[in-house]
Amino acid sequence: MNVLELNLILILVNGFFFLLIIRTNLSKKLFILITSIQLIVFNGLRSLNIGNDTNRYYSIYLRIKESYSFRDFLLIDTDFGFKLLQKVTLLFTEDFHIWLLFVALFTFIPLGLFIYRNSTGYFFSYLLFIGMGYYAFSFTGTRQTIAMIIVLLSYKYILNKNLFKFLVILILAVSFHSSAIVFLPMYFVAQVNFSKYYFLSLLGFYILVYIFRFPIGELMTKFYYDENATLILNKYDSVGDIGGVAILLLLIILMGLFVYNPMKYKDKENRVLINIIIISFLIQMLSSFSYLFTRLNMYYLIFLILYIPHILTNIDKMPINMTPLETRSIRGFVKGLVIVLISLYYIKASETDGSGIIPYYFFWE
């Protein structure tokens, strides 16, 4: 059993015990707390050899440590917010292992609070977070992971229609990874109410994006990478297929429209979440032309940790007359199916270990 499989098993066991057996408000909080600690321990106490880019981040840390002038600090080739956070941390400790632990705390405590305050299914939110590869990605994509967690915090201000605070949060995210700018249109798109004209507009928008996909892709790479945009686009060429993730997103959207139709139920959380997933689908479709779009789509795709539990919670809103027993049975079956499918996919994906996590070592080993 590798550490990724152990991580899954612990979440399954904790979820069964705290959310199914005990099922109190305190046990729900304990589940969030214990799961957060678990994610922090594995991520923050890892060896320098764990994570494909950990050693590269270590070299940046050393350069920032040795930057004695403001000019030297600015010349270090990484995002300003990230290196500023490292510089502040260096005022208290020069130990890179403590820095890794601090980053884990900075990442998974806000994630836990976000899930606690916004999710209708804590267990499924965490299961989706690790099952979709976000936890494994955090071992290697440190800057983007921080940026994605910050983007999650903007959800509150999308719901409340507070553009100023949304922009403040987004600017903070961009300071850690410039690619977070891709989430900027979501504030405006999320406010659009559903109608047949809206769907026709989406179709027209996608056709335009498809026609101009290459100049759009090159423009986006300028935000994402410092290297030549054309070179990176060629480097991240895809095979041209639509992709399993895009098909899955389409199925989730169709299921969401059937279960909790936003044209019938004027629920702002439902409207915002399905808009986010629709945009995620449109971006993911473009990954057939460049894998770059898959990386950019991570800022949208992560909201599935809210949307899928949201759908499961509202299964009783389906346009089918069902008894309470039938509703509970269908909900239980779908939940069980989701757990099995995500777990199997996660275990299969962990065997390839694209993030350089296995074999796992703590920093003292």
> How far is the C-alpha of 320 from the C-alpha of 266, rounded, in Å?
19
Is the pTM higher than 0.75? The answer reads yes
pLDDT on residue 239: 47
pLDDT on residue 148: 97
> How far is the C-alpha of 174 from the C-alpha of 167, rounded, in Å?
10
With a CB cutoff of 8 Å and minimum separation 6, the contacts of 360 are 2, 3, 42, 46, 47, 50
Q: Residue 180 to residues 87, 150, 269, 271: CA-CA distances in angstroms? A: 22, 9, 22, 22
Amino acid at 315: I
pLDDT on residue 107: 96
Query: Which residues, given as ranges, of the chain have pLDDT below 70?
Result: 213-214, 217-218, 220-243, 288-290
pLDDT on residue 104: 96
pLDDT on residue 314: 94
> How far is the C-alpha of 350 from the C-alpha of 359, rounded, in Å?
11
Which letter, b or e, does each residue of 182-206 get, where b requires 16 or more Cβ atoms within 10 Å of its Cβ? bbeebbebbeeebeeebeeebeeee
pLDDT on residue 271: 93
